Amino acid sequence: MYVCICNAVTERHIGEAVSEGVSTLRELRTRLGVAGECGRCATCARDCLRTAMAEQTATAKPVMAGFAPSYFLAVEAV
Ligand code: FES
pLDDT in tens, the chain (78 residues): 999 999 999 999 999 999 999 999 999 999 999 999 999 999 999 999 999 999 998 987 776 666 655 555 555 554
Ligand 1 centroid from CA 12, angstroms:
16
Spell 20-34 as b/e; 16+ CB within 10 A means b: eebeebebbbebbeb
Which residues have C-beta atoms less than 6 Å from ligand 1? 4-7, 34-41
Protein residue closest via CA to atom 2 of ligand 1: 4
The pair phi, psi for residue 15, each rounded to 5°, is -60, -40
Protein residue closest via CA to atom 1 of ligand 1: 4
CATH classification number, 2-59, choose in 3.40.50.300, 1.10.10.1100, 1.10.240.10, 3.40.50.800: 1.10.10.1100
Residue 42: which of 51, 53, 33 has the closest Cα?
33
Residue 51: which of 71, 30, 9, 23 has the closest Cα?
23
Q: What ranges do the domains of the chain cover?
A: 2-59
What does pTM read for this prediction?
A: 0.76
Residue 61 DSSP symbol: P
